[in-house]
Structure 1
Amino acid sequence: MNTLLRIWGILVFIFLFLPIAVIVVYSFNSGTILASWDGFGVGAYIRAINNDVIVSSVVTSLIVAVFAAALSALLGTIAGVALAHAPGGQWWAVGLSGILVLTMVTPEIVDGIAFLPWFVTLGVDANLSPMNHGLVRLVIAHTMFSVAVVTFIVRARMSGVDRRVMEAAADLGASPFHVFKDITMPIAAPGILAGGLMAFTLSLDNTILSSFVQQPGYTPWPVYIFSAVRVALRPEVAAMSTIMLILTLLALGLVALVLRRSGASTKEVISTMAG
């Protein structure tokens, strides 16, 4: 039975990761159409790096993902710590949890339809010029979608912490700021790191919401791919996707290294990075 389960698990992993392997292999296609293999070469990588539209969309995605991850980590940490320390049955905690759950389960297309007129109202009718900037719109939209994920990860990390530790520090004269800095933050750090990494990944992968709130000149990478698929998927897209995959794996490795240096075990590193 255990052998069958192992075989089944291996087959599932092959099924999940085989498409990624195909994209990586075909990124070395020397032809002009991705699906038509014309020989091995690195021309697709050269063309992708020299393509201003592709580079601009990738830079836009990375900038938005960094800012969205930072804001999500900040807001999610505050909300997660507050929910973890809230006494049971508090109306604001129940209400906040409900809003966050509703945010996570709401289809992205609904969020996009709601965000677009809201940004137009704020930017045009209320004359708030930042709301007319493409990067600002994308960062706000992606942060709204990701902050709930970070909140629940941080809350799960802090839920098992004994509050008496913080109360003892306060009794010994530590200010609320020092209690938060010296006790709460070190305990919550792995959860914050995992949540920020998750927010970064969700932002890079966001297509539907981005397609609604984007503006000309600020087209994220997933939206560019979505529009390119309608015509013909070229090896340049696979090449740049492979580069971003490598960058993502390097980021994961860096996070794992930081967690290992903090004294976390292998099991704790895996569970933290998985959220």
Structure 2
Amino acid sequence: MTPNRKPMELGRVLLIGWMAAVFVFLFLPIAVIIIYSFNGGRNLYVWTEWSARWYGAVFDNPRATGALLVSLQTAFINAIIAVSLGVLAGLALARRKGRWTGPYLILIFVILGIPELVSAIGQMIWFDRIGLFHGIARLSIGHSLFNVAVVALIVRARAEGLGEQLEQAAGDLGAPPWRAFVDITLPLMFPAVLAGLLLSFTFSFDDVIISLFVQRPGTSTFPIYILSSMKAGLKGDVAALAVLMLLVSFLGVGIAAALLSRGGKGRTLGGLMG
């Protein structure tokens, strides 16, 4: 055995141990909430027995199902808005570069980096001043302002890796621009577009701060309902609600990550990650 063999093995063991400790630190709270969602007792803190009754109680609660429906409607409309605007913005950034590209990218990163509380207060005042009082519309537009920027960066990264040769060839063969976009550009960018759609849906479904400020009476979202339920004391239905949100979030983010890794050559969020 070489003299350096033992220090290298010791360093590897320490590295693996450190990584395991980090993963336990990150995921232990998630494991705890999943386990306690099956606590049959009335008080969430006091374990009594294994039971799935709280999952049934969630769907028997009209307030919970109403809040879930509001969140699903909001997330879907927000995703459509974000993709419709974000795809065009991402294509313009990748294919029509000019002096405007730098300031526009700065604006996108400002949208991504601005504190959510500041954005929520600004949106609340803006919606009230323009007379937009429809609850679902306020929530959908409010959530989409952030998600448009996310979709734009994802599509930009994908479009920059494709080139314009196929679109130009279609143009030479007489295809109008809209036909080349529908038949060639959009199918090639489909993984990025679908990933942006799923991420937009997930970010909207999980949002708390913007929803709290821009919501109207009768349009409380699922996360807001969970917060309000905690005021009466933590019960098993709160844990069950949290697990359901967790499943939706993991599903959306997981599918989006898989699509980006396959279709985006390892790029995500416009090159911010990977």
Letter in 2 for 1:175: P
Unaligned runs of 5+ in 1: 124-130
Q: Distance in 1 between matches of 2:157 and 2:247?
A: 30
1:82-110 Cα offsets, whole Å, 9 max, x none, are: 111023xx233223222211111111111
Judge which range, 227-236 or 146-155, deviates more. 227-236
Query: Secondary structure of the residue that 2:72 maps to in structure 1?
Result: helix
**Alpha-carbon contact 2:206-2:245 (below 8 Å) kept:** no
Structure 1 distance, partners of 2:181, 2:20, is 44
Does 2:204 align with 1:203?
Answer: yes
State TM-score, norm by structure 2.
0.85
- C-alpha RMSD over aligned residues: 2.4
What is residue 268 of structure 1 aligned with on the other side? 262
Q: Percent identity?
A: 39
Q: CA deviation at 1:254?
A: 6.4
Secondary structure, counterpart of 1:91 in structure 2: coil
Distance across 2 between alignment mates of 1:161 and 1:270: 10
2:101 aligned residue (86, 93, 97): 93
Q: What corresponds to 1:166 in structure 2?
A: 167
Is 1:118 aligned to residue 126 of structure 2?
yes
Among 53, 62, 67, the alignment partner of 1:57 is 67
Check 1:274–1:237 CA distance in 2 against 1; reply closer, same or farther (3 A cut).
farther
Q: Paired residues, what number?
A: 259
For the Cα contact (< 8 Å) 2:158–2:189, is it kept in 1?
yes
- Aligned partners of 1:240 and 1:195: how far apart in 2? 25
Contact 2:33 2:243 in 1 (8 A): yes
Q: Is the 8 A contact 2:91 2:156 kept in 1?
A: yes
Q: Show structure 2 runs of 5+ residues with no match.
A: 1-10, 270-274
Do the aligned residues in 2 keep the contact of 1:65 with 1:204 (CA within 8 Å)? yes
Local SS of the residue matching 1:174: coil
Given the superposition, is the C-alpha separation of residues 152 and 110 from structure 1 closer, same or farther in structure 2, using an over 3 Å criterion? same
Preserved contact between residue 206 and residue 249 of structure 2 (Cα < 8 Å): no
Question: Conserved in 2, the CA contact under 8 Å of 1:32 and 1:235?
Answer: yes
User: C-alpha separation between the residues in 1 aligned to 2:144 and 2:36?
Assistant: 33
Q: Kindly provide the CA deviation profile for residues 107-133 of structure 1, in whole angstroms up to 9, marking residues without a partner as x.
A: 11111111112111111xxxxxxx211
For residues 103-142 of structure 1, the aligned pairs below 5 Å read 103-123=111-131, 131-142=132-143
Describe the superposition over 1:178-208 as per-residue Cα deviations: whole angstroms up to 9, x where unpaired.
Answer: 2111221122111111111111111111111
**What is the aligned partner in structure 2 of residue 68 from structure 1?**
78
Aligned equivalents of 1:270, 1:153: Cα separation in 2: 9
